[in-house]
Amino acid sequence: MLTSKQRSQLTGIASRDCVAQALGKFGLTDAAIAQIDGLLGHHELVKIKFLDFKDEKREIAEELASRTHAELVRVIGNSAILFRQNPNPEKRQIELV
């Protein structure tokens, strides 16, 4: 569980250094989940941009976080930020405060 200070830190990082993935008309497919899961494994922090399904972005972001074992940091506008810390301390790219 992330604290508000950690969420703020991750939001700041996501605004300047973050891998972005668009989620379009096909929605939350197994291929999209696998791709985002791979990005989380490599980069730890991923910004999802909703091109479609904008009315359901909160629910989709929560399901995506659940299925990728990630934390939903924040939903801002038509974007969601997901974070999954690398279990290996030597490979972590982001150190939380």
* pLDDT over 90 (residue 78): yes
Q: Is there a contact between 39 and 21 (Cβ–Cβ < 8 Å)? A: yes
Would you kindly state where each structural domain of the chain is located, as residue ranges? 4-86
What pLDDT score was predicted for residue 27? 87
pLDDT band at 1 (very low <50, low <70, confident <90, very high): confident
The number of helices, as runs of H, and strands, as runs of E, in the chain is 3, 4
**What architecture (CATH level 2) is domain 4-86?**
2-Layer Sandwich (3.30)
Q: What is the distance between the alpha carbons of residues 39 and 21, in angstroms, rounded to a whole number?
A: 9
Span 27-65, pLDDT tens digits: 899 999 999 999 999 999 999 999 999 899 999 999 999
